[in-house]
Structure 1
Amino acid sequence: MGWLVLPAAGPARADDPVELSRDGQITDRVGALGDRAGQVEDALDRLYDEQRVQLFVVYVSDFSGRSGQTWSDETADRNGLGQDDVLLSVATHDRQYAYSVDVDSRLTDADLRDVAGTAIEPALRENDWAGAAIGAADGYASVLAGRPVTAPAITPGPADPGTGDSGSTGARDFILPVAVVAGVGAVGVYAYARRKRRTTTRTTPAATGWGRGAGAGGAPEPPTPLPELDAQAKQVLVDTDDAVRTSEEELGFATAQFGEEAAKPFTAAVARAKDELTQSFRLRQQLDDAFPEDDATRRRML
């Protein structure tokens, strides 16, 4: 089972997909980098000089109720990022992050996981916002050059930059992203449909926060309680239904502008999504009927 990221509470769209800074590859909406912005810039420059890959990093408070991968994809689309561009997005208050890479990038899924686990996450565990970006830049340069990825030196920072909270928030609250990869579709200028996930490989157990792989003594943490899992499943169904409806509307606009032939791959994708969503709603109805399943079956269905 993959973990689920639920919409954040509070006012929505606080940090909608943003326009990246025109002054460089860093967009820091919360002051996360402080006086270390220069160090991050140096790392981004090293990556470009060595591999001609541009890493863009963006720090916001939250992902406006979206999943990290959706927010990152939409931000990359909005800013026209391409094959040799990588976007690293960090939501400091909601403690989530994601990365978006072109489907034709030289960075493989294994490369992305290696850099995330070795060079990005150790920094995020300690609120080292600059270190995460430096680790990502140096890590991508290393894997592309065939060198081993090394962990960055850690300099802990404020737990929630932009709010004045300098307290320590544990690493267990940080949510691991799914690797998100971008692809240029048949309708090349139609940004909404340009980006997609290359993989749905999960690297953490279901519904655990980042860094929660094991409990005390190395024992696996207990599974998510069924009531909590049930609530998550209901929310995801609602969110997915909304997303499919929005996709249908956007597809209509694209078809009108570019023709049915150009939109055919996306028409098929939306049709498949609707079919799978229908199956999911049937499962939901089965779960809610008058014939209760045993706990193991219910967990599997959820």
Structure 2
Amino acid sequence: MRAAFYTRTGPAADVLEIGERPDPVAGPGEVLVRVRASGINPADVKRRAGWRGMAMEHPLVIPHTDGAGEIVDVGQGVDRVRIGERVWLWNAQGGYGEAGRPFGSAAELIALPAAQAVHLPDEFDFAAGACLGVPAMTAHRAVHADGPVAGLTILVNGAAGAVGHIAVQIAVAGGANVIGTAGSPAAAAHARAAGAAEVIDRRREDVAARVMELTGGTGVDRVVEVDFGANHHTDIAVLKANGTIASYSSTSAPEPMLPYYAFANKGANLRFIQGFAIPTAARRAGERRLAELAAAGRLTVAIAETYPLTEIAAAHAHVEKGAIGNVVVTI
């Protein structure tokens, strides 16, 4: 099979190669998937770059944890009726802090546990399906980890990002009122189109003051947070007593210092969301909910750009530069 791979960490253009690799075989409990699209997440480019000293976990790595395609074979113990099924993939490489799997979705074929190949709703093409594993499941977990959201007010920081854009849609579909933040007029428009009632320009406005104005001084019930280190002072300032901050990243400050009593005095709940470590029951609930929203026409996956496999280095550079929407490699 043809695949992208690297044998050392570093800049995408320096370390990513394209070549032939042995075809994988579906082992017991596994499916073999013909990959049509491979989604790129920030975690993928960080791992390839060696972010914060990440070392190679295997001699050779085929990148990317998310993807979509068709099942072309199954291993022992898997019903052969699944052959031909359109699926989306999750955790193809495993999460941080573990060796995980060496061979991800940036290849023509991938073998992985059957449970990690989820039926792809007819409403989604392969490119959209390749963005469900991390962005959509992280968004669902961040919105719903603490229960239903009907009638609640939720602040989504980074509402135009890959996770934030879907979080807005999931929260609105659940009956929440959503306030978003964005860093440009184009990003703000993207967040509004997803259903955010109000979008605050984080570069030009005082986010905390604006949130309190929009909520009549009461604040928000929950925060979905893209960068805890950068925003936690604002988050706690606008959070209601006993509210929740669900944070899925802290890239700007990986070891943040937080004002303990500002959080404690409100009885605040701080929840860390790791898309690679979603509990099984929550994952199944998320998979069902995504399918329901897709069938109802209430879930859109934004694609910023697609690249052929031969241009995977440019695709990684696009993710590192930033984009409104997801970046996908087609195979």
With the shorter chain as reference, the TM-score category is under 0.3
* Bigger share in helix: 1
Q: TM-score of the superposition, structure 2-length normalised? A: 0.23
* Bigger share in strand: 2
Q: TM-score of the superposition, structure 1-length normalised? A: 0.25
